[in-house]
Chains A and B, each alone.
Chain A
Amino acid sequence: MQINPADASLPADPRRPQSAVAWGLIGLAYLMAGAVLLVPLLLIVVTGFREGVGVYVANIVEPETLHAIFLTVLAAIVVVPINVGFGIAAAWLVTRYEFRGKRLLITFIEIPFSVSPIVAGVIYLFLYGGQGLLGPLLAQFDIKLMFTVWAIFLVSLFVTSPFVARELIPLMQQQGGEDEEAALSLGANGRQIFWHVTLPNIRWALLYGAVLCNARVIGEFGAVSVVSGAIRGQTNTLPLQIELLFNDFNVTGAFAAASTLALLAVLTIILKSVLEQKTGH
């Protein structure tokens, strides 16, 4: 399709679609985004509420599901702050200093991001399992990690460890250390520099990373399913509970749990887009 160059050269607003091609592309984007993204989301929510809000609520307050929600939220409460702390330390280290072995360190920060979550479960089983590397030793001290909530926390820590660092490093790299150095020359100590100079500069990116980290902790399935032991009402997180309900032939219950997670996902997206505007993404 040909556009007349004379028309196209002086558009009133360059971003207002002018041509049929443009509208065609937009239409295609509507269609694909609708079919690929919106419809699955709607399906989950519609099916979850298919039998009415009452049935939905009844499914959610079912003790095992309620416990799964509780455990999932608890995992987020435990894991996200730790990885926020780690992310800040790692980003500060990587962007403010030059040192030997930095490349290796960065590789280790990145690895959990690109490895299959099943591998995350496997490595923890081989480390802390009863027949693993450290498991027998810990058992002597009566420390039990596998198939407890601790194992769930640990694999979640592993899987989401890069999320905050990943947001902070490019930003802190770009901002450079000049502000901090200026503060230093004015006599500020490390803590003051961090709280009054660095943190205000990175707070939105930090939150953004935390939101992504949170979403992943809540949704992690593969790694958790290896180390959970699937004790009902004990070590079942919400995503595992969905599979369990599905296998119990309780499809409505599975969709009720799933739609709870889907609503959380929508909330995450809204929060994320608000933060994106703040960070100027």
Chain B
Amino acid sequence: MTSLDTAREGPRAVAFGTRLPKARKPGRRHLLPGFGLTFGITALYLVLIVALPLAAMLLKTFSLGWPEFWRIVSSPRAISAYWITFSSAAAAAVFNGFFGLLLAWVLVRYEFPGKRIIDGLVDLPFALPTAVAGLALVTLFGPAGWYGQVLVPLGITVTHAQLGIIVAMAFTSLPFVVRTVQPVLEDIPEDVQEAARLLGATPFQVFSRVILPLILPAFTTGVVLCFARAIGEFGAVVFIAGNLPGMTEIVSLLVFIRLDEHNYPAAAALATVLLATAFVTLFLTNLLQAWQLRYADKSR
């Protein structure tokens, strides 16, 4: 595969459809048959599976009226849930920023024994059901667990603490940064660095002045995706978090509890907040991708 192909694959691993290159000859596009069929299938499916249920929830939320909605979403318990969720997701994203970059770098730049295994393991968090991940983490970090035995005597409690939420979020969103940075890194020609090195740059300078700017858009996209996924994570977190209101209770769980309490207005309002967050991150990743595509165009 040529380097041009890989360059195009950068955004591929990220998401899609954000800034599709414009059709070269616009009128030409309707030549192919199947517009009616594919449009019909796609639109019908999206209406039935995505739009209609979302509308049902939004209707419920709108029926609350603004003062009631505001009362629910600004209650102290909700606010501490936002804070816990967002700060944990941010911490997980930062961790995965470093760790993901390290993994991507090592996997692209070096040949070493066990490389394929590590590369495969990176996908584990996406392949492993989150409830299983949660069960594994809570057992590992529990007082009697393999890690807990070492950490707990040192005064580091992971389970039933915010650290546990961060661990669960970091685990389940780990692949994003690796998989977004990897293709871009692969695409940077060796000779760019060689040249910089021959000009006397230190390895650190090569990295910070040459490589980092090139991978920055992909890297940022990866971190944002990681953050978005962490905010939505539920299965792994509820196993390890302890779910103490105001301490380790995330927004998704609060929605779940409000449902159980049969307090539907509160569940709808808080779920709407989560939905709005999803839209914002989606918008953000789209902007980032536009940035990345411009980069890719330039570097070609």
Contact = CB atoms under 8 A, between A and B. Distances in A.
Given A89-B38, A226-B256, A123 B102 contact: no
B23 A98 contact: yes
B143 interface: no
A33 B103 contact: yes
A132 B57 CA distance: 9
A270 to B, nearest CB: 7
A143 interface: no
Interface string B231-261: 1111100010000000000011101100100
Contacts of A28: 102
Interface in B83-138: 99, 102-103, 105-107, 109-112, 114, 116, 118-133, 135-137
B112 A26 contact: yes
Interface in B31-88: 31-35, 37-39, 41-43, 45-46, 49-57, 59-60
Contact of B12 (A44, A171, A220, A258): A171
B254 to A, nearest CB: 9
A25 B106 contact: yes
Contacts of B252: 116-119, 222
A59 interface: no
Contacts of B231: 116
A32 B102 contact: yes
A144 to B, nearest CB: 17
Interface in A37-70: 37-41, 43-44, 47
B110 A119 contact: no
B228 interface: yes
Contacts of B107: 29
Given A15-B110, A89-B38, A33 B234 contact: no
Contact of A96 (B21, B32, B124, B126): B32
B63 to A, nearest CB: 11
A22 B109 CA distance: 9
B127 A242 contact: no
A39 B140 contact: yes
B211 to A, nearest CB: 13
Contacts of B11: 170
A98 B26 contact: yes
Nearest to B198: A9
Contacts of A127: 52-53, 56-57
B73 to A, nearest CB: 14
A30 B23 CA distance: 45
Contact of B275 (A44, A119, A218): A119
Which of B107, B198, B232, B239 has the most CB atoms of chain A within a 10 A radius of its CB? B232
A15 to B, nearest CB: 5
A190 B275 contact: no
B200 interface: yes
Contacts of A111: 50, 54, 278-279, 282
A263 to B, nearest CB: 10
Contact of B39 (A37, A93, A170): A93
Contacts of B54: 111, 123
Interface of A: 1-3, 5, 8-9, 13-17, 19, 21-22, 25-26, 28-30, 32-33, 36-41, 43-44, 47, 85-86, 89-90, 92-99, 105-119, 122-127, 131-134, 154, 157-158, 161, 165-166, 169-171, 173-174, 177, 180-181, 184, 189-190, 193-194, 212, 215-216, 218-222, 225-226, 238-240, 242-243, 246, 254-255, 258, 261-262, 264-266, 268-270, 272-273, 280-281
Given A25-B102, A158-B50, 7 more contacts: A32-B103, A97-B29, A109-B46, A110-B282, A114-B228, A117-B235, A118-B255
